[in-house]
Amino acid sequence: MKTSEINLQSKIREIPDFPKKGVSFKDITPLLEDADYFKEAVNLLAEKYQNKKIRKIVAIDARGFLLASALAYKLKVGLAIVRKKGKLPYKTVRKKYTLEYAANVLEMHTDAILPGQKVLLADDVLATGGTMKATIDLVKKLGGRITDIVFMVELKDLKGRQKLKGYQVKSLISF
């Protein structure tokens, strides 16, 4: 399939009232399940970061792992993960955060990012920006240098980008 033939947005399924009434969930799994579409999404994102000398990609629990690990492989860089409280086995730093329908705590291993290391943050969806803002705080606490932040999908009405001011934010698909 040629890039001109692929409409990535057509592969995002909308689920009304999930995970709670009033939330319109954007499901990326149909895009991930289609080899051509997933490959194209990863290639489009990777080409933007080929020359940025990134050393690690930081992935957010859980669907962010899918996108970030494919990007890390494509860019030949390491992968650091951010998980919900209690899921990582080693010493961690943590940050409380809120999003549009819940509050939680994120953690990252204390040795996941080296001071001064250039990192790309990656997640599946930018909604309110709370999860990514908490991730930024964790990376900064460890001394990482954030080059860019990337999302597969951005929900513009929720204005999450406003919480990420001062960073280069990119998304493949916008609603």
pLDDT at res. 100: 62
Domain boundaries, given as residue ranges, for the chain: 52-174
Give the distance between the most distant pair of CA atoms in the chain.
47
Cβ contacts of 41-46, under 8 Å, gap ≥ 24: 41/8, 41/67, 41/152, 41/172, 42/67, 42/70, 42/71, 42/74, 43/74, 44/3, 44/8, 44/172, 45/71, 45/122, 45/150, 45/152, 45/170, 45/172, 46/71, 46/74, 46/75
User: Tokens at residue 14, please?
Assistant: 């909308």
DSSP string, 106-141: EEEETTSS-TT-EEEEEEEEESSSHHHHHHHHHHHH
pLDDT at res. 20: 87
Report the predicted TM-score, pTM, of the whole model to 2 decimal places: 0.92
Is-contact 130 136, C-beta < 8 A? no
pLDDT in tens, 18-59: 988 988 899 999 999 999 999 999 999 999 999 999 999 999
Name the packing angle between helices 35-47 and 63-75 (round to 10°): 60
pLDDT at res. 98: 77
Q: For the residues 72-95, what does the mean pLDDT come to?
A: 98
**Span 52-174 CATH architecture:** 3-Layer(aba) Sandwich (3.40)
Q: Report the C-alpha gap between 84 and 91 in whole angstroms.
A: 14
| φ/ψ of residue 151, rounded to 5 | -130, 150
Q: Report the C-alpha gap between 76 and 83 in whole angstroms.
A: 22
Which residues have a catalytic role annotated? 63, 100
Select from 102, 64, 99 the least CA-distant residue to 80. Answer: 64
